[in-house]
Every structure is written in C-alpha cells, then in structure tokens.
Amino acid sequence: MTETAGETVRLSLDALRALAVQVLERHGCSAAMAGAVADNMTAAERDGAASHGVFRLKGHVDLLKGGVVNGRAEPVLSRPAPGAVRVDAGLGFAPLALALGLPALAEAAREQGVAALTLTRTVHFAALWPEVEALADQGLVALAFTSSPPNVVPAGGRVPVFGTNPMAFAWPRPDGPPLVWDQASAAMARGEIMLHARDGHTLPEGAGIDAEGRPTTDPKAVLDGGAQLAFGGYKGALVALMVDLLAGPLFGEVTSLECGAAATMGGPQPGGELILALDPVRLGGRSDGAEALLAAIAGQEGARLPGQRRFANRARSLAEGVDLPSVLHAEIEALAAG
Amino acid sequence: MTETAGETVRLSLDALRALAVQVLERHGCSAAMAGAVADNMTAAERDGAASHGVFRLKGHVDLLKGGVVNGRAEPVLSRPAPGAVRVDAGLGFAPLALALGLPALAEAAREQGVAALTLTRTVHFAALWPEVEALADQGLVALAFTSSPPNVVPAGGRVPVFGTNPMAFAWPRPDGPPLVWDQASAAMARGEIMLHARDGHTLPEGAGIDAEGRPTTDPKAVLDGGAQLAFGGYKGALVALMVDLLAGPLFGEVTSLECGAAATMGGPQPGGELILALDPVRLGGRSDGAEALLAAIAGQEGARLPGQRRFANRARSLAEGVDLPSVLHAEIEALAAG
C-alpha cells in the first residue's frame, strides 16, 4: 500500500486515515474521536492543505499527553432555542463534536430558515472549511468562526489580544462543489512566520511588529516579543474582533485573551466555535445571479475562485493518494508505535 | 433656530430632521418614508458621519426624480420561516423597510435564538450601522450586509464585479452604548477617491488600479476606466464576495454585477440587504470576557475601539446641534423650495 519515491512516501487516503486513527487511539482517543479527527486530517491532506494534515498528529498527541484534551470525551447535544443547537464537546477535539452537531444544525436551518451551532469546551486544532463545506454540500450557506490564543494586536496597538481567528464561508453551487473559503484574520499564519524564521526569509510588509511596536519584516522579531498584525490594517483587526466575540462570549465561551498562552507551537486551548447555517430555499434564494457573478470572476485573467486548487488536489489525491515527506512519515510511524 | 458662524450654519438635530423631511416630502416621499430617511440622515449627522448625512439629500432627490425610488412605497412584511422575516420594500428607501422589519427581527431572534431579516427591492443609500446599533441597543448581536453597483475588482483581476459592499457588526455592552463597526469591503470609499481627484491628492497604496490593471495612486486613473481594490488584498476581496452573495442571491435579490451602473455619484440601484440577529441570552452568552477583551484594546496606547469618535460627536451634537457648510445648507433650502 505504500511505495517510496525519493524522499516522500506515497499513501492512499485510506491508508493515511488508518495511520492517523492508529496514532490517535494509541494515545488515548476513543475510536469515535480518532475517526472524526482522522477524517478531518485526511480531508486536509486530500486537498493539499498539508499544514492541517497529519503533520498535526504530533500536536494532537502533545495535547492528549498534556491532559489539555480528553480523547475519550463524549459530546453532548442540547437545543437551547428552536434555532440554536449546542454541543458541549467535553474537552474533546472539535471534529467529533461537529459530527454530532452538524446534522442537527442542518435540520434546524431547514426548519427555521437560519440556525446556529455553538460548540463549547472544545479544542479546534483542525482546518475550519470542512464544516462549512459539509453544510454547503447539503445546499446550505454556512459561516464558521473560531478563536485561539492571542498573537495578533489591535490596529495601532502592540499587545496581542486576538488569536489568528479564522472565519470560513461556503456557498452551494448547482453544478459542482460549493464555493468555500477559510481565512485567518491574521495577515499570515503563525506557522508560516516560524518557517520564514527557520529559513532566514524576510516577511512581507504588514505581517508583524517587533517588541517595540514597530513594523518589521524580520520573522524572529515578530516571534521574539513582537506580535502579528491582522490582514488589511484596521479593517482586518475589526474582523478579528468580531470573530473573537462571535466564537466565544456570544454563547458563554472564552475570548482569545482568556485562552491564555498556547500549549505548544501555536497550538490551541479549549474554547468555542460558532457555525451559522442559512437555507436559501426557505429564504427565497436563487443561484443564477450567483453563478453569473462567479463566472465573471473565474473568467478574468489573473483572478480565480477560492478553493479551486483544493479541488484540483482532491481529484488527484483520490486517484493517486498523497505523498508524505519520509521524515514526517517516520515520525508518525514512531507515534503509532508509542 | 439657526445661527450663522463664518461659513457654517448651526442647526439643532430637530431642525435638521425637519429640513430633511421637508425636502423629501417636497419631492414625492410619503410622511412615513420621509421620516424614516430623515431619521437615518440625522443620526449620521449627529454622529459626525457627514458623508451619510444631509449631503445625500440631493442624491435622494435625484433617485426620486429619476423614478428609481418610489417615495410612497409601503413595505410589506412576511415570515417565510420561523427564523426569517422578509420585507418587500416596494422600491422604497431602506430606512422605512427597516422600521417595519427590525422589530419583527428582534422578536424572532428572541424566540428562535437567531433570525434573519431580508429586505428586497430596496435602495440602500444610507449608513449601515444604524440598523445593527438599534438591535444591539436591545441586547442582540447583529450583522448587516448590503451590496451596490460594481466598482471593485476581484483579487488579481481588472474588471469590477463587487460593490463597495459594506458589512456592519454590533455587540451589546452592559454599561453603555454597544460596540459597533461598519466598513466597506473596498479599501476606500468611492466618494473619498472622488474628493482626492478633485483636490489633486494621491491615493494610498492599495486603493485602486488603472485601466491597464496596474496598481496606481492616481485617483483620476482609478475613476477613469480603472477600478477600486478590496481592503487587505485577496482576503478582503473574499469578504466582498461573501457580502455580495449574502446580500442578494441568498434570498432572491441581485448581485452587485446585476445592479448595473450607478445612477449618479456612486448612487445605488434597487437591491437587497441581509441582517442577522443573535440573542446572547438564548445562546448562553456572557459579557465579562467580552468586556475584558474590549478593555484590553481600549487600554492600549495607539489602539481604540470602533465607534468611539461617533459617540463623542453624538454627545456634542445632542447638546449643541451640528454645523452645516453654508453652501450645503443653501443647496438644501433650494431643494426644499422646489
């Protein structure tokens, strides 16, 4: 099932998922938790989003070993209001809580026109787009918001108060996969700044400030007492603020600031997630205008629709499997062994 | 009631509102329509947002004279789903449709936990924050989205497909006015680019491209065959895309692209608006974490919370009235006369 090609190892998606399950179960996850997390990671690898793929198994194991996450948590669903589904994740990883909550959210959105799913006491250490894509696959429009330990400053300030605070959006399309985007409110992912520091590269303008609050393109200065900036200046910082409020205090969960310092490698702490689903059928929606708009974007030289590269990667991975760096593969094999 | 001071005329807010009502009624608005629009303009003037104030009366009159807007429209409310309120504005200005829809939205959000208000066949030529602030004044969290004729290109492209597509957000606070922001997805307001062109000033980087698709700081090049850019590069362009889809096709209304060319001065065409309201009480929300986050922002040198200047202006205007440029005041008096 595996074949070695230079410094990479090719695995089918099934093999990759099985390996992730093995690692997660070995380190204390229930079969349900391991399966849900492995599904998310495999989806990320399948779509070429390696930074949310099995590279994160080590971080997951650290969170389990450190007792931050309960690998055997059993999420509990409640319905505090007709348009509100709530899942207490019991300090488990988000994908299992989502596996329970998303079907209930979809049903509520179809009943009510619009509905909200709130996850509490969860660790979201995964890609955010799978949950909105899953809803759009069922014909719903979806938005998702989650926060994380503070690394990003407000506009004009120098003390980090926001997480990288991603937001995701998905829109169903009649003849193909949905339109999906998922983007951090930070100008740049923290892991990417770490890679720039490691490789001695400078950052683009606008990614961060140094310990004195001055704009810098030196990744080490950002990581060493400096801070990250939001995308797009003060407007992006206000998006970060909105994400922070919607992903926590709106339903009783923590802000980024309350998350406290990250455990490891920008890893998360327990917190919340908000997902909104809207049913265009109940709201009187139409797809022709949307399709004309998307065609007018895709038809422009230099412009493209979000997610197109992911879907191309997906088609290839489903046919051919994915190539993992041999070093990473060896690390994962070691995690699976103990 | 008026006193002249140099080249400005001071008016009380009541006098300002009465003057706006007079102009709007003179040009075919019903008393209800004139009152609702005048309330929005007066709120903008009160908060120091002159670009959304009585300066826009001329544009409103043009829309009425041109038959784009029906000044005697009577909005019609329906409830297509338990969590969805719909108002057909009948080609009237948005504020009257909002006056009908917002109380029903607030009631639905309290019942359902989350609810949506969709406005159809309306012309939104007003500030967007008043509707979300009104909801947050009642303890609800609110988001609003509307689109407008296309002036903004997708990332990497050169053909405008998005309007300036503003989005507004409001969060209720226990001891004072809500946190409110309202920002265009465009890097810069179109009117501001026009002012730069008039005054011979260059634009900041990132505001626009010329007719060849090249980045430019020349406002005339942007207006003359060029186009505006979204804020924050490709991320802001994806926010613009989301706003476009949510403010129209989601509930059967037009995209920016379908709006077609603006009537005058970047003025709008009939289209839609989406407002979401969430009830933190039904969702299990808490304000202490949010307040700590907001204090951590406001307490930083150089940083500030959005809307603070508006609230300072408001306090002053309520006490002292507002100063209109004499030229503008004369123009409005002329509109009121015929």
pLDDT in tens, B99-138: 999 999 999 999 999 999 999 999 999 989 999 999 999 9
- How large is the ipTM? 0.95
pLDDT, residue B194, reads 87
pLDDT in tens, A144-184: 999 988 999 999 999 999 999 999 999 999 999 999 999 99
Predicted confidence band of residue B82 (pLDDT cuts 50, 70, 90): very high
B192 is catalytic: yes
pLDDT, residue A261, reads 52
A238·B289 Cβ contact <8 A: no
Closest alpha carbon to A139 in A167, A112, A175, A166: A175
d(CA B58, nearest CA chain A) in Å: 30
Q: Rounded to the nearest 5°, which phi and psi values hold at A191?
A: -60, -35
Domains of chain B, CATH where assigned: 3-68+307-337 (1.10.1530.10), 76-283 (3.30.1370.60)
Closest alpha carbon to A254 in A246, A242, A266, A265: A246
Predicted confidence band of residue A195 (pLDDT cuts 50, 70, 90): confident
pLDDT at A3 over 50: no
Q: Rounded to the nearest 5°, which phi and psi values hold at A81?
A: -155, 160
Gap between the Cα atoms of B256 and B258, Å rounded:
5
Closest alpha carbon to A228 in A291, A186, A288: A186
Gap between the Cα atoms of A29 and A40, Å rounded:
15
Predicted confidence band of residue A189 (pLDDT cuts 50, 70, 90): confident
pLDDT, residue B338, reads 85
Gap between the Cα atoms of B65 and A316, Å rounded:
58
pLDDT at A119 over 50: yes
A169·B238 Cβ contact <8 A: yes
> Measured between CB atoms, does A125 come within 8 Å of chain B?
no
Gap between the Cα atoms of A104 and A109, Å rounded:
9
Gap between the Cα atoms of A260 and B175, Å rounded:
26
Catalytic residue selected from B3, B7, B51, B291: B51
pLDDT at A5 over 80: no
B81·A279 Cβ contact <8 A: yes
B227 and A283 in contact (C-beta within 8 Å)?
no
Mean pLDDT value across chain B: 94
B10 and B322 in contact (C-beta within 8 Å)?
yes
Residue B163 carries which DSSP code? Answer: -
Query: In chain A, where do the E strands start and end?
Result: 3-5, 8-11, 76-81, 84-93, 114-123, 141-146, 167-171, 179-183, 208-209, 215-216, 227-228, 271-278, 322-325
Which amino acid, one-letter code, is at B294?
Answer: L
DSSP, collapsed to helix, strand or coil, labels residue B246 as: helix
Q: How confident is the model over A21-27, as a mean pLDDT?
A: 98
A262 and A268 in contact (C-beta within 8 Å)?
yes
pLDDT in tens, B169-227: 999 999 999 999 999 999 998 878 988 998 999 999 999 999 999 999 999 999 999 99
The 10 Å Cβ neighbour count of residue A172 is 21
Mean pLDDT value across chain A: 94
